[in-house]
Amino acid sequence: MLNWLLIFLPIAVYLEFSHGNPTWIFIASMIAILPLAGIMGRATEELAIRAGSTVGGLLNATFGNATELIIAFFALKAGKLEVVKASITGSILGNILLVLGLAVFLGGLKHKTQVFSQKNAGILTSLLTLSVLGLLIPAVFDLASVNFANFAQPADLDFRLSVAVAVVLILIYLGNVYFSLVTHKDLLSGHEEEGHEVAKWSVPKALGILLASTVAVGFMSEFLVGSLEEASQSLGLSEFFVGIILIPIIGNAAEHASAVVFAMKNKMDLAVTIAIGSTIQVALLVAPLLVLLGLAVGQKMDLVLHNPLELVAVVAGIVIANSIAKDGESNWLEGLMLLGVYVLLAFAFFYFPTVSAAAH
């Protein structure tokens, strides 16, 4: 569907190697990621079908947020830690407010009241609440410690606490995988409703395409990050805004598409599972992995959010997800309001350009 956008892949490569205008490199590589993410998702699914439900589920779960992880990894390697952290927050907000909002709104325009399993949504929002609150502990710790004058080396403490949080969250992630694939595989089986799909690609083909698209996403991410500084300046955006709004929209494009498609087919359980499940993944896997990958590439990335607005927005996101999920029903007005809150937050984040730099 979006495959014609692949034309931006060679354009981005050409611009990069001909030292073209960074703004155009930035835009071309960003657009090129969209179809590549779709292809990665498709190849993962093909492999997952061949692999059977357990290993396949694991594959889907692990590669679900691969695009985001790759972009963030290249930003991390380039030392753009604030962008990486902004993209984590932005991904959480984007999934809860934008992905879920679009799905609920567009689904709600077509179907008057859409129902979904309160039980499934209840388990998902409980996991969401616990995982995101765990992720926020270093930020709150830092906020608390700056209130105390004679507090030695908070930066390093922040980092040590972040590593501890990352390790605990990854353990919980492993627990979550074991839970979904072994002890409670029947419970969160939203995706299997889709019908018994038949794999269309051979395993070598799927593997080859997965490899090629992953490599391509990697290159595009490197171009994107390399042109980020100049492009954002010439576009009048802050790097923080790019990290918190643009990168998550690109990184989550696949989730957006499938959640909206399922919502319009009135399969709200799948839409809710994608939006909230993806948020849980960001908190339990993507964010902690980035802290540990930072250790590997020599970047001390902590999980401290320096903008209190981010912190409050994420907590508000949790409250909203709980509130939306609790009644097992949705309608277009709820979707409109989710989108409204997202737009207002984007507007507020837009006004933090010079600030995020000044904060350090």
Q: Which stretch binds its own copies (CB under 8 A): 209-217, 242-250, 294-302, 317-325?
A: 317-325
Binder among 183, 203, 211, 215 for its own copies (CB under 8 A): 183
Cα–Cα distances (Å) from 171 to 30, 131, 255, in that order, read: 33, 11, 25
- Is residue 212 at the binding interface for its own copies, with CB under 8 A as the rule? no
* Minimum CB distance to its own copies, residue 112 (Å): 7
Beta bridge partner(s), residue 17:
none
4 versus 347: smaller Cβ distance to its own copies: 347
24 versus 350: smaller Cβ distance to its own copies: 350
Please tell me the count of residues contacting its own copies according to CB under 8 A: 76
67 versus 89: smaller Cβ distance to its own copies: 89
Q: Which stretch binds its own copies (CB under 8 A): 50-58, 88-96, 285-293, 346-354?
A: 346-354
* Minimum CB distance to its own copies, residue 211 (Å): 33
Phi first, then psi, for residue 198 (nearest 5°) are: -110, 135
Comparing C-alpha atoms, which of 258, 335, 317, 347 is closest to residue 102?
Answer: 335
- Strand runs (DSSP E) across the chain, as ranges? 114-115, 329-330
**Residues in 48-77 that interact with its own copies by CB under 8 A:** none
- Is residue 249 at the binding interface for its own copies, with CB under 8 A as the rule? no
* Minimum CB distance to its own copies, residue 104 (Å): 10
* Minimum CB distance to its own copies, residue 296 (Å): 22
Q: Count other Cβ atoms within 10 Å, centred on residue 226.
A: 17
Separation of alpha carbons 117 and 99, rounded Å: 19
Per-residue buried b or exposed e for 252-262, using 16+ beta carbons within 10 Å of the residue's own CB: bbbbbbbbbbb
**Residues in 118-177 that interact with its own copies by CB under 8 A:** 118-119, 122-123, 125-127, 129-131, 133-134, 137-138, 140-141, 143-145, 147-152, 157, 161, 164-165, 168-169, 171-172, 175-176
- Is residue 323 at the binding interface for its own copies, with CB under 8 A as the rule? yes
Do residues 281 and 92 make contact, with C-beta atoms less than 8 angstroms apart? no
**Residues in 296-315 that interact with its own copies by CB under 8 A:** 307-309, 312-313
Kind plus residue range of the DSSP H or E element containing 252: none
* Amino acid of residue 203: V
Separation of alpha carbons 95 and 165, rounded Å: 22
39 versus 268: smaller Cβ distance to its own copies: 268
Separation of alpha carbons 163 and 114, rounded Å: 41
